[in-house]
Amino acid sequence: MADLLKLSVPGKPEYVGMVRMAISCLANSVGFDIEAIEDIKVAVSEACTNALCHSKNRAGGYEVYCEMSDDKIVVSVVDQSGGYDKNSYKEPCLDQPKEGGLGIYIIKALMDEVDIFTEIGIGTRIKMVKYTK
């Protein structure tokens, strides 16, 4: 059975580093190698950054859930930041670099499975899975 760890984090940029550190500890205990741990750190940081940056209510906190099993880690970042319209999401055009718009693209590139549930006026849950292989 998987172990579930939950973090409730204040909505401030300075705590994203702590989340990253905690997740990297957990990924290490699951048995991921250094490269995979770095991937997970970046993906989770991107998700936290989105929870923070796109929040309609100032300083709203968010939750990070981690499920550790023998062969995988599942990390979900859940916010009450107001959600967004998934249909208007556009993949970044990599030939014309822009300042933003890379977060979800990077998460999908680094994790094995990514699911986003978002409801306008409520919030967003992004669920990311990585397997040890």
Partner 1 sequence: MTLHIQKSFDHNKGLWNIAPQGEVDISTAPVLRSCIDEAFNEENGNIILDFDQLRYMDSTGLGVIIGAYSRMKEKGYSIVLKNPRKNILKLLQITNLDRVLCAELYE
Ligand X SMILES: Nc1ncnc2c1ncn2[C@@H]1O[C@H](COP(=O)(O)OP(=O)(O)O)[C@@H](O)[C@H]1O
Q: Report the distance separating Cα 103 and Cα 124, nearest Å.
A: 14
Rounded to whole angstroms, how far apart are CA atoms 108 and 119?
20
Site stretch for ligand X (CB under 6 A), options 8-16, 25-33, 68-76, 98-106: 98-106
Sign of CA pseudo-dihedral 32, 34, 37, 39: negative
Query: Which residue, 30 or 39, is less far from ligand X as judged by CB?
Result: 39
Which positions lie near partner 1, rule CB under 8 A? 13-14, 16-17, 20, 35, 38-39, 41-42, 45-46, 48-49, 52-53, 92, 94-95, 97-100, 102-103, 105-106, 109-110
The answer to whether the beta carbons of residues 19 and 44 sit under 8 Å apart is yes
Smaller CB separation from its own copies, 17 or 101:
17
CB 22 within 8 A of CB 6: no
For ligand X, which residue of 71, 87, 97, 100 counts as binding (CB under 6 A)?
Answer: 100
